[in-house]
Structure 1
Amino acid sequence: MKNQILGTLYGLAIGDAMGMPSELWSRRKVKAYFGKIETFLDGPKSNDVAKHFSKGQYTDDTTQALIILNALMETDFEPKDQVIAEKLIEWAEEIHAFDNEILGPSSKAALLAVKNGKDASEITANAVTNGAAMRIAPIGCLFNSNQSDALINYVWRVSKVTHASDVAITGAAMIAGAVSSAMEKKTWEEIVTDTMNIHDKALAYGAETFSPSLKARLELGLEYAHKFSNDEEAFSNHIYQVIGAGVSTSESVPTALSIAYYAKTVERCAILAANLGGDTDTIGAMATAICGAKQGADEMDPSYLQTIHDNNKVDFNHYAQALLHYRKN
């Protein structure tokens, strides 16, 4: 099981780092500048959100996931709003995230409110961006796939410090649930079925919004995956143009799940997401974490793992051991 947990963590970091250079560029611009991203690259100087990152470095998606784990380890994996908020604010101040283009809009507004001693509930209730989903994948490692109710509740408790809308919680629960099922090496059809079931349950959490259905969009993405099974370019175009690759949960989560289903391996998934256009690092982080959970670290390209090791100060074994210890068996 530790191999699957490490696969999730490395998958998260690989998808994030591979997608970093093209983050928030249009699909046309990605093609014009890179041709095709096929390996880890430096962030272009002309990309305001990626220009400070070098080849193989992951962004705030992976960093926030690890910060959440640090907060949970401090409280024996009993989620505490104050501790999670403090850890996120401490990191944000350390890297000047409040002043630079690093934090997502919902997380930035909520954390600033908490920092200034204000009530953030109105902000979090209307947070429909993907900040909760982008950092949630490791939480899926704590649960078996038959513990969906407990998983959803835990996702809610971990996420609501910045995101407390129904769509944000549902999207995060779907990503965590997909990881949970993938870790058990279920078939991709079974993973999708489990994820759809989680969607139906998770909508009961959070403040009601008028966001599009994540389930309906995922169903459409799966249709494209089958229709264009032998045409990667057509698949990506349809995902980008119809489902979307923006920062909203209603776009990026069904897109990430569709790409994971289509790509199936960490290596293909990371490249596919990086070339998609839009919120490439976040979509890559979510999608590739799911593939990593199923594939396991031992089956990944060793050069990918080495790149993450060489360019980031992180010990994933430390986090994997904690997740394994607190896993709800």
Structure 2
Amino acid sequence: MQEREKRIFGMLAGCALGDAMGMPSEGMDAKTIRTTFGTIRRFLPSCEKDVLGRSFKAGQVTDDTINTLLVCDAVIAGQGSFDPFVYLSLLQTWICENRGQSQYMIGPSTKQALQAIADGIPLEEAGRNGTTNGAAMKAAPLGIISDYKRLDQLIDHVSLLCLPTHHTPVAIAGASIVATLSSYALQGGCDMEDMWELAERVCSHRRAYDLAAELDDIREYMIRHEKAEILRYLEKKGNRHRNDPDDPGRTDTSRTVRSGSV
């Protein structure tokens, strides 16, 4: 296996490992995580307090990993390019073939967008309300086909990824940070200061948000949501897989993003 292939494998394995570690506490607040699990340091099954009512086994992944692999499948189908129509078709097929799981595996923005498409809304309009982190969670594979040194092209790739379900400035900006750090890591980058600088550069990049959007609004959202998932890890410089009880919410996504992109 070549060095780049090893890094790609590590990126995908990191996504899955982080996702599975965060799965049991997904959606819980800090107090519930602390009283139920303390600090999660190994794979655990979902419990009776699972906010989605799941009965997942220890080590089982969520929609974060499923979508990440579907993005990979779309890139493979496109022989190195990404087509949102191909990705959407793969996602719809997976949902149809996994009815038992998909009810727990599709986020609110994705569910809303898929319903809009089923109702006849054009793909270009279906994702205009998607502001959740469903874009960031699956963006790491775009680092394989994008170069962080060419941000315009990278953000264009991310915009295509976001088109069906999360085509909003904040979602595109958040996912662009993930893809940028993924590209940096896949090229052998590992300097924390570089990662900080790259995240800030993407956050300030004109192509990452609509010209009509206010930069201050984007910055505020990024600090509170997408960007914070990565930068919190950079700040701690600690174990990217450990679940911190003071880091609640979408613990599956935050671990997927951290482990897959940095």
Q: What TM-score results when the alignment is normalised by the length of structure 2?
A: 0.87
Alpha-carbon contact 2:128-2:166 (below 8 Å) kept: yes
1:257 aligned partner: 230
* Offset, 1:214: 5.5
Report matched runs for 1:214-233 at 5 Å. 215=219
Alignment partners' CA distance in 2, 1:98 and 1:55: 15
1:64–1:207 Cα change, 3 Å: farther
Q: Is the counterpart of residue 66 in structure 1 residue 69 in structure 2?
A: yes
* Distance in structure 2 (CA, Å) of the matches to 1:98 and 1:258: 31
Mean CA deviation greater in 175-184 or 111-120: 111-120
| RMSD (CA atoms) | 2.6
Q: Which moved more, 1:205-214 or 1:90-99?
A: 205-214
Q: Answer whether contact 1:36 1:275 (CA < 8 A) is retained.
A: no
Selected match of 2:250 from 279, 282, 285: 279
CA–CA distance in structure 1, aligned partners of residues 256 and 152 of structure 2: 24
The ranges of structure 1 where at least 4 consecutive aligned residues each deviate by more than 6 angstroms after the TM superposition are none
Q: List aligned pairs for 1:151-190, cutoff 5 A.
A: 151-183=154-186, 184-190=188-194
Residue aligning to 1:85: 88
The Cα of 1:106 is off from its aligned counterpart by 1.0
Report the AA paired with residue 196 of structure 1. E
1:42–1:56 contact (8 Å) kept in structure 2: yes
Tell me by how many angstroms 1:118 deviates: 2.8
Partner-residue secondary structure (3-state), 1:111:
helix
Percentage identity across aligned positions?
28
Mapped to 1, the partners of 2:10 and 2:140 lie a distance apart of 11
Query: How far is the alpha carbon of 1:127 from its aligned partner?
Result: 1.3
Q: 1:197 aligns with which of 194, 197, 201?
A: 201
How far apart in 1 are the matches of 2:253 and 2:199?
Answer: 19
Structure 2 CA distance for aligned equivalents of residues 272 and 211 of structure 1: 32
Q: Report deviation, 1:21.
A: 0.1
Distance in 2 (CA, whole Å) between partners of 1:215 and 1:181 is 22
Say which is worse superposed, 181-190 or 112-121, in terms of deviation: 112-121
Give the superposition deviation at 1:98: 9.6
AA of the residue aligned to 1:74: A
Count of residue pairs brought into register by the alignment: 258
The CA distance in 2 between the partners of 1:23 and 1:6, in whole Å, is 25
Task: Provide closer, same or farther for how the CA distance between residues 61 and 212 of structure 1 changes in structure 2, counting only shifts above 3 A.
Answer: farther
In the superposition, relative to structure 1, how do residues 178 and 23 fare at CA in structure 2: closer, same or farther (>3 Å)? same
1:111 equivalent in alignment to 2:114: yes
Distance in 1, matches of 2:217 and 2:36, equals: 33
Q: Which secondary structure does the structure 2 equivalent of 1:4 belong to?
A: helix
